[in-house]
Structure 1
Amino acid sequence: MSYKLFGDLFRLAPYLALVILAAWLGQQEAFVVDSQFAATLPVLPYVLCFVGCLFAWNFKMSTSVLGFLVIGMVYWTSAMFLPYGNTADVFGDVLFAGLSILLPVNLVWLCWAEERGVLSRQGLIRLAIISAQFAFLLLFTYVIEGGLQQAVIAILNLQMISGFWTAWSNLPQLAIGAYIVSLGFMLLRFMLQRSPLQMGWISTLVASYFAFQEAGNPDQVALYISVALLALIIAKVQVSYQMAFVDELTSIPGRRALMSDMKKLGSKYVIAMSDIDHFKKFNDTYGHDIGDEVLRMVANRLSMVTGGGRAYRYGGEEFCILMPVGEVDKAIPHLEKLREVVEHSEFVIRSKNRPKKDKKGSKKRGASETNQSVQVTISIGVAAKGKMHADPMAVMKSADEALYRAKKKGRNQVAK
């Protein structure tokens, strides 16, 4: 568990570093006031918002498109109608409070929302809901006056606890609560999915909070909003890379990544081809869901290959391993170790009739009669670059032929 937590923190670090960098730059008066970059700060969020929307639209990421639009609308609204930040008049009481509450609520909503397409019925409804929020906020700020406006002001600036506990923040207590709750739900989503997309949402939320904290300093607000948008853009790039180069089922590099890495091989290398023995029988006997579990288990074990190797899913039940060694004999001990790890990995097929989660079922679920343990093995063929096989595709073909020999000899072995 501690290793997973460390890994999560490590993956979040680059995003949070963006926020820290923005905070440091914001404290550099020469950077904010005197530099040429300062002149572009007010328009930078609009540029990043446009780029982000275009990128997310191209990859059909509807929730991200709406996320960019929400942040862009908040920045435009605050820049146009709230030039002096959190003031004590009605603009601060309604507009500042409303924006600082609506932004985290919308971000966490979009973080959890499923992709439905921007122009689909669901997408248009979401867009209408977001637009209505800003419309009503401006309506209560500039048009509606009197008792109704005062009631809205009282709700937005509600003091739920002693001000002593929230004196560290410029935001209303409802906004502070919205940010804390939203951060909690985003962290939960991240723990469930561990996706770069969730890391982007978390960093965007944190950066937007600091943007509201700096209300009244237009340059620093623009800086933090730019970081919020940039974090989301970086997350989209990482997700797009994963979609292209990482196999969705097994979470190891896929065939496209293999083809790309084969172009970068040096003068000495070994290629091994492997597949799961009797995999068709697994699918026919236990179903494709069990077959997918077998694929994931084997992929996990193959990813542990030693000797500097790297495993890829080539297709179906077939995997490929690239190793930076010059001779087959040097690679075989590592491949044999890998084969043994798979052979000795227990794979348990859960009974479809096992009891549900209750006191009685918890005892029976561990009983041998409800589960079936099966053995999974792999066969491996290996070949090295040489005079007979001068390019990676030729070496791969030779390794595939060696794999066929391993299967012909009885499977569960390494052949060269």
Structure 2
Amino acid sequence: MRAFGFGAENAARRRRGGPTLPALPLPIGSALNGSANTALKAALARVTNGAGRAKFYIAGDSVSFGQGAGTTADAFRLTGARANRWPAALAAELTGIGYPALDNAFVGDGAIGTVTGGAVDFSAYDPRVSHGTWSATADQRFAGGSCWVNQAGSIMRLTAAGVDTFEIVYLNFATATFGTDVDGANPVSGPASGAISTNGGAFGFTRITLTGASASGSHYGEFGATGGTGASAIALASMTAYASAAKAIDIKVGAACGATSAQLATTNHDGGHWSDLDYLAFEAPDLTIILCGINDMNAAVGASAFAANLHTIIARAKLSGDVLLCFPYAVQSIPDATYQAYNAAAKAQAVSDGVAFMSFYEYFGAYTSALGARTADGTHPLAAMAAEIGRVARRCIQAMAA
């Protein structure tokens, strides 16, 4: 077994006179557990060679969604949190070492309505998104929380800088027609307004790609219903944006506030919506990063059941790529003995499934007041701690690709 070693990086920091990073002796950085990580390596090579894009997927809970990393404008620290969440930090870290990466997508609603009781709107969390009267059911069983649903009369808009292309994933589950535009005009490539129809008899995901008439810059893409039947004729899974000429890693975050491992592992469509596992399989990422467990421990799910759920997620993720399984840092509400038991179960599952493993519990140590001061509420990381999680995740990915 080989540890995630950061000796070279620390040597460089010492030469610059900067602080060294915490050492990660076995088993904290985990062995790679026999995984060659060929999909990850191929994806990184594809991006650096300019041959194509790569895709990373993050399956998790409120920690990955970004709760705690926002401003003080709301009690949940979710306002503006998307820009400070650890996946955004990971994207910046990867870009900084020569692997251009984007955390530009939104996947579902993150169950933001569940955790805030409607007190924080999704557009406050992510100001790039304007959702009009589109609504979400705030359920943690679905990828990213819940799909966005609406009938005719409202537009979902994503605005982004340095882009020329928008990618939309929707779910066929009811009869409807809807249209698209880029900057208010029919796209140069991709289906024009009114040219798309969903078919209630053909359940499944569809991906469409829209390119506008202008060069890469600040643009918006829109998606909206023009007609349909049923209370929720359109189901929007995700939107993302990128510059087509600049090959990069697209990071999609399927995280929902309050999610447990069982919810992340479910295949329950609940009358026509989608599950996390369905969406994970559809996206077919080159690398899946799993970070969950706090809600399992709070709910006393049991370490063996937690490990079984992790296995289900890992098995689905390995259909398309490699896996980095992460175990969460200690929080105030959970006894250390519980953390030790779940950490051991997760580590053993990573070995059994042959995937890389990172324990943030072992990295940060048992819960202390000092660790608590780095969180918003004893659980959710403030922006600086989220940035450190992203930095460590980047270092793990480097070790996996070495």
Q: Above 0.5 in TM-score?
A: no
Normalised by the length of structure 2, the TM-score is: 0.26
Normalised by the length of structure 1, the TM-score is: 0.25
Which structure shows the higher helix fraction?
A: 1
Larger RCO, structures 1/2 (Cα 8 Å, 6+ apart): 2
Q: Greater Rg, structure 1 or structure 2?
A: 1
